[in-house]
Amino acid sequence: MSKKYKIVHDRDICIGCSACASVCPKHWFMEDDGKSSLYNHIKSGNGEEELLGSNQNPLVEDFEDNMDAAESCPVNCIHVYEINDKGEEKELI
């Protein structure tokens, strides 16, 4: 089975430093309100933005860039999860 990943952005605590957009502009951009957002995201019920990926999705090709974006965030509002075949999530960062 292919590995699947999920990026979760807790936008409420984003300080708008733009580090993620600088490191990974293919997936991150700055909004008019000064906070970052994910391109092609879906909103979860609690106001977070999510982006799902699999081996057939460019997210895996840019997996390292998104990990770098998460690591560059000074307030740790970007979380990367690996999802196993049972649908269980393991937080990588």
Which domains, ranges and CATH numbers included, belong to the chain? Answer: 4-91 (3.30.70.20)
How are strands ordered across the β-sheet holding 4-9?
A: 42-43, 49-53, 4-9, 78-83, 89-91
Do residues 41 and 9 lie in contact, with contact meaning Cβ atoms separated by under 8 Å? yes
Contact (CB, 8 A) for 50 and 7: yes
Residue-wise pLDDT tens digits, 28-49: 999 999 999 888 766 766 666 6
Residues in the chain: 93
Whether residue 15 has pLDDT greater than 90? yes
Q: What is the pLDDT of residues 49-61, one digit of tens each?
A: 666 654 444 455 5
Span 69-74, average pLDDT: 96
User: E strands within 1-93?
Assistant: 4-9, 28-30, 36-38, 42-43, 49-53, 78-83, 89-91
pTM, entire model: 0.79
